[in-house]
Amino acid sequence: MDKDISKKVVELITAGLTLSVLSLNVVAEDKVPKAAQKESLRLEELIVTAQRREQSIQDVPISISVFSGDKLVEMKVDRFEDLVLQEPSLTLKAGMSPNALQFGMRGFSSLILGQGIQPAVSLVVDGVPLAMDSEFVMEFADIERIEILKGPQGTLFGGNAVGGLINLVRKRPENEHTARAEFDVSSDGERIYRVIAGGAISDDVTGRVFAYKKDKEGHIKNIFPGAKKAGSIDEQGVVAKLSFEITENVEFLLTGEYRDFISYTGLVTTINDVPEREAAVGAHVIADPFLINQNQDAFGAVENWGITLETTWDLSEKSLITLTSSYRDLLNLTTFDLDSSPASVTNRLDMPFIFFPDSNISNIDDDAGAETAVIDTNYWTHELKFQNITDSRDTVVGFYYRNFRQVSPTNVGLLVRGDTAAEEDILGLGIAPPLPTTSAHLALGIVSDADLRRDEAAVYGDITWHLGSSFDVFTGLRYHREKTSLIHSSRIAITPAMEPFFSSEPDKGIFNQILVDQIGAFESDRITEEWAARAGMAWFINTDTNAYASISRGFIGTGVDASAVAEEGKEYLNPTTAISMEMGIKSGLLDNRITLNGAIFYQESSDVQISTIPPGEFQARARNIGNLESLGLELTFGFRVTQNLSLNASLTALDTARRNIIEACYYEQTSEQGCNMDVDGDGTPESQDVDGDPSIGTSDLAYSVSARYEVPQLLESANGFLAVNWNWRDDAQFDLDGDPLTVQEAYGLLDMAVGLEDFNNKYRVSFFAKNVLDTFFAGSKTSGVNILGRVAINTPSQARVYWGMQAMVSF
């Protein structure tokens, strides 16, 4: 382990202990509060379902952060992209499309570009584990709370929770009638309209409905004539819930939801690679991270709907059976501008690489709504869970089944300048030039179809024994069986990009005579058996202090390379497995005016799965890349200083290392910089040993500090409030090859909000400012010489200051 990082971790542990001691001393100097004030000075108890049953967060032997729905609204946290900037344990690497988010936790994430790889951080919504990373692209809707569970959670929640799990709980129907309207407006051109209504429909039926509409102007100007701004969002959705009390002990909860999302996007070239790009795009555009010059209106769109029926049967005061069945349908559409320039098939501008979105060999229907890629997914999940809570033990056992299908046609058209094609391979397609032509460019058409299916079944059990009033011992086991099948076909066509072989129309290439026509097809299946487990103990030192230790194992199921260049016999990836050891303490001090929770952990993940674009290529490839080690410290702190002032802080410190991994050299890397391995045996080093390099997209240190001050009766019937958040992250490397130009330097973000809240929640109005210091940062950085530029970045909308107003009125 790096000595500097080890020293940093020790210093942070010492700082955390010192913080608690100082807090005690500071408060001890205050006057003893009156008995009537003691209750109001206590921090509110947080109830979570991290162990599939309701518990106080202080009793759960897991490192957890919780965001209430009110907190999310107050600090203008509308999406997961916003949440990451508030929670130090979460990381996010933005993909090439706005519907591709790559989340990480504790230094572990699946770098996903395309289909076939399951996410490393699981998302559970109202008890249903979601299957796709693109389902993270959502507007937060009527949220009760969001629980962030850190480390492997596979025993109770299944695969894909190796880095951790996000448990999103939406509000349930209640008997009390409510109706309200909300409106958000901000200086970055965002408008959000929300309506919420609910209450008793009859003696035995209650309902709740939430609907919203969001319009946002793009924050990246595309100077190409007639082009749309990148970063714009057009989204609408609805969530409706009906609760039926069938008998005194049996309840049905029916949830239906629909969402339609589209966002225009574009990677921003910030460092030039070739003179032709600078001439085509413009030096002033490359110098500005909020400008692009691209002829294609690239976008990502998601349309999804789902229905869930949850049946709850109270067998007794101590026993409960829950049956949850859910169906989800997700249509993911994408069109890229892979050359990030104004070049087109009819106006080539002598660019080394030119993308065209359509061709006469395309396999995507003209009515599909996209031209580059379509991912059509649907799946059923069923879970039967039994829980029994007694004075001596808590028991949870269950059965889980998911039937998943994903159909994904892909179409890419390219012009590649002859002098930029590799001598032995064209963009990693396994096809070697030369071709008998004098054409300046070669035309490539790449189409594929993948039909991926998964049948997953699991049984699990988890028991906590209460050994007296002070000790708990817990253990759990999950057995998982999965059958994965793939039907794959592909076609790669290459011909000179000139008449009579090839002709062109605006945004469309016509292959008239194909000189190389490579067609492939195969079918295969694979059965995988995996397991997750946990064991540990908790010691309740007193009524306010809980120390625990645990060991857990998690997994990600079989990965699949479903790309256009997938090869039979190499299409399946080994499951990723993880072992984590954790020790923690949860404490309440000064009659619970202070909470101080901390955890130290070590985690090792094997056969890490990724799907990324190799250097010099355009097509994402799936592969196992070795192991990942992570040692870390997590702290959360809450302090009710006075009746009106509260402070909160959280911190994550990590020392991560990749192991047994060989990566390609980055562009122009020298032997002195580590490019000294000749893996392909051609006499020229092209690879490097990255053993010991940190995890991708992960900072060594991240922390968040917030304060909230309430002004009682600022108006006769309303309180005022002021909230301030400071969030800071250390340097992070975004590329596997360790390119020094793809490092995001450390940055901090300051957010503020001020507002009024009616005593009876009749209205609320607030003004917010995000990124007050106008600090720029990138959501991702990548190197794509001859394709995207020497460095291309994702510029998030949060990367500059903006402000606005939120208003709510109840009827």
Structure confidence by residue, pLDDT tens digits, 338-384: 889 999 999 999 998 899 988 999 877 766 666 788 899 999 999 99
Give Cβ neighbours of residue 111 (< 8 Å, ≥ 6 apart).
93, 102, 610, 611, 612, 696, 736
- Under DSSP, the state recorded for 173 is P
Which ranges in 467-570 belong to alpha helices (H)? none
653 forms beta bridges with: 633, 701
Identify the band that residue 424 occupies on the pLDDT scale cut at 50, 70 and 90.
very low
Residue count of the chain? 811
| Residue 162: pLDDT over 60 | yes
SS3 666: coil
- Counting residues of the chain whose pLDDT is more than 70, the rounded percentage is 90
Phi-psi region of 660 (alpha: psi -120 to 50; beta: other; left: phi over 0): left
Identify the band that residue 21 occupies on the pLDDT scale cut at 50, 70 and 90.
very low
Give Cβ neighbours of residue 712 (< 8 Å, ≥ 6 apart).
644, 719
SS3 11: helix
At 36 the pLDDT is 45
Contact indicator for 301, 370 with CB cutoff of 8 Å: yes
Contact indicator for 405, 450 with CB cutoff of 8 Å: no
Cα distances from 780 to residues 189, 621, 696, in angstroms, run 23, 19, 10
Look up residue 554 and give its two tokens: 């998690």
| Residue 32: pLDDT over 60 | no
Token pair 């079989």 is found at 558
Find the range with the poorest average confidence among 177-186, 311-320, 418-427, 791-800. Answer: 418-427
A 10 A CB-CB count for 620 gives 24
| Residue 127: pLDDT over 60 | yes
| Residue 5: pLDDT over 80 | no
Average pLDDT over residues 568-594: 93
At 110 the pLDDT is 65
Strands (E), 157-271: 164-170, 178-186, 190-200, 205-216, 221-222, 233-245, 250-264, 268-271
Distance CA 255, CA 741 (A): 47
Token pair 């009766």 is found at 713
pLDDT in tens, 248-283: 999 999 999 999 999 998 899 999 988 999 999 999
397 forms beta bridges with: 386, 461
At 532 the pLDDT is 96
Find the range with the poorest average confidence among 45-59, 66-80, 362-376, 704-718. Answer: 362-376
| Residue 105: pLDDT over 50 | yes
Pairwise pLDDT comparison (40 vs 42), residue with the higher score: 42
Domain that holds residue 789: 3-810
SS3 27: helix
Identify the band that residue 13 occupies on the pLDDT scale cut at 50, 70 and 90.
very low
Q: Where residue 735 sits, what CATH number does that domain have? A: 2.40.170.20
Phi-psi region of 179 (alpha: psi -120 to 50; beta: other; left: phi over 0): beta
Distance CA 558, CA 254 (A): 32
Identify the band that residue 74 occupies on the pLDDT scale cut at 50, 70 and 90.
very high
SS3 136: helix
At 72 the pLDDT is 94
| Residue 10: pLDDT over 80 | no
Average pLDDT over residues 414-428: 66
Pairwise pLDDT comparison (639 vs 441), residue with the higher score: 639
Identify the band that residue 729 occupies on the pLDDT scale cut at 50, 70 and 90.
very high
Indicate the pairing of strand 291-292 with strand 221-222: parallel
Number of domains in the chain: 1
Strands (E), 543-618: 545-556, 559-560, 572-573, 576-589, 594-606, 609-612
Look up residue 672 and give its two tokens: 């002195």
Identify the band that residue 31 occupies on the pLDDT scale cut at 50, 70 and 90.
very low
Distance CA 739, CA 690 (A): 11
Distance CA 541, CA 539 (A): 6
